[in-house]
Amino acid sequence: MARLREERVRKIVAPMLVGEQTAGDVLDDDFAYVVGLGLIALRGGRYEVANPIYREVIPRALTHVRQTQVPDDPAWYIDADGRLEMGKLLRGFQAFWREDGHLAAEGFHYREAGPHLMLMAFLQRIVNSGGRVEREYGLGRGRLDLIIEWARLTPERPATGARTGAHERHVVEVKLRRDTHTEAAAVEKLAAYLDGLGLETGYLVLFDLRKGPSWEERLYEKELEAGGKRVVVVGC
């Protein structure tokens, strides 16, 4: 945590979390410093988080305090058969984002990654009750990909945390909305990603941080078809 608070580290890790490029004031020495700390590594000509443990620990460390303050009860998003209700879960996040989340996101030291970190905090709070969140991110990817692994609760013993052998996988892609082309390009990429994973449905969360649109315009949900895949677009 001490290293993550350093400005030289933040300037590299923050854009990495959202899949963007670093700013123009980042120097080779800054990259060398963060590589020397063992947080990132240069592989195949691209910088990425050094190992799977750090890929998990970095966003968890940055979101832990916010995660503990999410008021939603995980039980709200689990159906009678122990399945995770992804549509309901993301609608719950929309309500949270409008009421409190967008303001809390500005309090992150990693402010440019605030929306992504707040979504991860919210999902982690809910999924901790019966699953885990895998994160794929890195410089220049243009997005953050989250894979939720969920083990169903048994209908007979939901309060005990007993599990069945059935597992679910849900993909959530996160992007910042910049123009009308953002959605179309993101939907196509997500459909290709789903095809590689052998899944039929994925979720695209688009954060619209422009000053003009009202909350009524920003918060929406719609289903699209691309490459034979079902993509649910969730506006925030």
Per-residue DSSP letters for 57-84?
Answer: HHHHHHHHHHHTT----GGGGB-TTS-B
33 belongs to a structural domain: no
Quick check: 163 and 181 in contact, CB under 8 A? no
CA distances from 18 to 95, 113, 192 (A): 22, 6, 20
pLDDT at position 7 over 50: yes
pLDDT at position 223 over 90: yes
pLDDT at position 68 over 60: yes
* pLDDT for res 6: 93
32 belongs to a structural domain: no
pLDDT at position 34 over 90: yes
97 belongs to a structural domain: yes
143 belongs to a structural domain: yes
pLDDT at position 159 over 80: no
Q: Which two tokens stand for residue 102?
A: 């967008």
Look at the chain and report how many structural domains it folds into: 1
Helices 114-127 and 7-18: crossing angle in degrees, nearest 10, is 70
205 belongs to a structural domain: yes
| Helix ranges restricted to H, 86-179 | 86-96, 102-105, 114-127
pLDDT at position 9 over 70: yes
Domain that holds residue 105: 51-235
Quick one: average pLDDT of 152-167? 53
pLDDT at position 45 over 90: no
Global confidence as pTM = 0.88
Q: Which two tokens stand for residue 22?
A: 């670093």
169 belongs to a structural domain: yes
18 belongs to a structural domain: no
Beta bridge pairs of residue 49: 40
Quick one: average pLDDT of 55-62? 90
